[in-house]
Amino acid sequence: MNRGQKRRKSDQPASAAATKIIQAAVRPDCSAAELGELAQSDPAFALRVLSVVNSPAFSLSRKVDDVRQAVSLIGVRGLRNLALSLVVSDMVPMGEAGRVLLGNSLRRALAARALGIALGERRADGHFTTGLFLESGLLARARDDAAGAAEVAMSPAAHRVVRERADGHVPHPVAGAKLAEEYMLPPETIEAIKHHHDAEMPDAPAAKVAWVAERVAAVFEGGATSAAKEAAISAAGQLGVAEAQVETILKELPAEVSDAAGAFDRDVGEQADLDSLILDANRTLVDLNGQYEALIRKLETVIAEKEQLEQQLRQANAQLEADSLTDSLTGLPNKRALGEALTRDLSRADRESQHLSLVVVDVDHFKKFNDTYGHATGDVVLESVGKMLRDCVRAGDVPARFGGEEFVVVLPNTDPAGAKIVAERMRTRLEQLEVPGPSGALRVTASFGVASVQGPGCGKKQQELFERADAALYEAKRAGRNNVKLAA
């Protein structure tokens, strides 16, 4: 089989065997023997397993020529990571865009593994898988927009999230974390993917390694190479990796990326070493980088303005919603809000077999205030009544303006006797209130009708509750006003 045939074959999925291995490996009782059988069930997948296991990408100490032997050496976790690696590599499109995207993904994977080894971790293959998934959000975008994903991948690493947000795309750390959840990766891996572009180093160990690996890979991916190298060394220092170890990782990384791509039957093109990048950057990229930095600052400003506008819009919508539920004169909930609150509290009373009481309040002879002193004074009277009602109720009660000079108070978990006490307190407080008028203090009174219901079944008695409270209110008016009547 020639090279062109191999490339066409690699455009196919890693087969159902990889997916089955991933699903099986998350079970606590899964054995290496079971995974070996799954790997052998698809000859094409088995060959790819052996190819990767024997490549520098996997770093086994000796060559393996049998799938069962490979599984026994790398174990359940190792084979699962290998299957995940093949799945990620198969997400990469063909062509120039694919070479860029795969190169970036492998660079992060190999950097993460190298950092794990530098930290003395015995099993650094988990860091390799996590690193490979760091760019998976861009790989997912590449399914529909390979050119757009590659354009982001070719921009300086530190600026990619800004570009994605400016273009209206979901940032690739968020998209990659979601993809990792679908593949049932461990929570620490998902967090590492989600936070690898954060401004500060995350707290979790796996996330720390991924965060530093992102900065090591960034040295080779555009922008000011020397500055990126200093940032990588500084980040590695926070992790506990010495500068000399970082220098070694940076020196070996280009060749390792090429070798690893070959193991996946792909070509990532020539990988420039660090010295060549620095020389090239010194010659041609200084002015370009300055222009790009200015562009990024502009984009960041645009994004900040956009986010500020979105926040203002959310606040405006919230205010509109609040206004639609609030009486503009008294500041109390309006008739619509009252209906929603009463429906909610009646349902609760029904579920919990509690009482609920309703107090209907009508200002006595309100028309005379408008006719004698004018509507402005009438408004002052209504505002004063609203304030009195607010002052007389508990936090969970709902005083509302029903319309005109009529008010309603919902009293959850209140029986008839308790509701009558509350209504009498309101009546007395209002009777004692001095409302300012054009010619001195005005005396205001009101009539109160009280009705109660109790679950179960009270959730359907809203209309009946209103009718009984209204009937009690009219009885209070017929009795001479300025009193409280309880519905039968």
For the annotated catalytic residues, the residue numbers are 405
Which 3-state string (H, E, C) describes 417-485? Answer: HHHHHHHHHHHHHHHCCEEEECCEEEECCEEEEEEEEECCCHHHCHHHHHHHHHHHHHHHHHCCCCCEE
The residues, ordered by sequence, that sit 6+ positions from 407 with a Cβ below 8 Å of its Cβ are 332, 360, 361, 362, 385, 386, 389, 399, 400, 401
416, 357 in Cβ contact below 8 A?
yes
268, 257 in Cβ contact below 8 A?
yes
φ/ψ region of 269 (left if φ > 0, alpha if ψ in -120 to 50, else beta) reads: left
**For residue 166, what are its two tokens?**
């400016």
Q: Which helix (H) or strand (E) holds 411?
A: strand 406-412
According to DSSP, the residues that pair with 214 across neighbouring strands are none
Nearest one of 406, 398, 410, 397 to 470, comparing CA atoms: 406
**For residue 265, what are its two tokens?**
């039957």
Q: Whole-angstrom Cα distance, residue 40 to residue 43?
A: 6
**For residue 432, what are its two tokens?**
């004692």
Q: Whole-angstrom Cα distance, residue 116 to residue 240?
A: 11
Cis peptide before 399 (omega within 30 of 0): no
**How would you list the strands of the sheet with 406-412, edge to edge?**
398-403, 406-412, 355-363, 446-454, 484-486
188, 205 in Cβ contact below 8 A?
yes
Q: Whole-angstrom Cα distance, residue 153 to residue 433?
A: 72
Q: Which helix (H) or strand (E) holds 403?
A: strand 398-403
Collapsed DSSP state (helix, strand, coil) of residue 337: helix
According to DSSP, the residues that pair with 357 across neighbouring strands are 411, 452
According to DSSP, the residues that pair with 449 across neighbouring strands are 360, 485
Per-residue CA distances from 56 to 63, 211, 262, 372 (Å): 11, 23, 10, 96
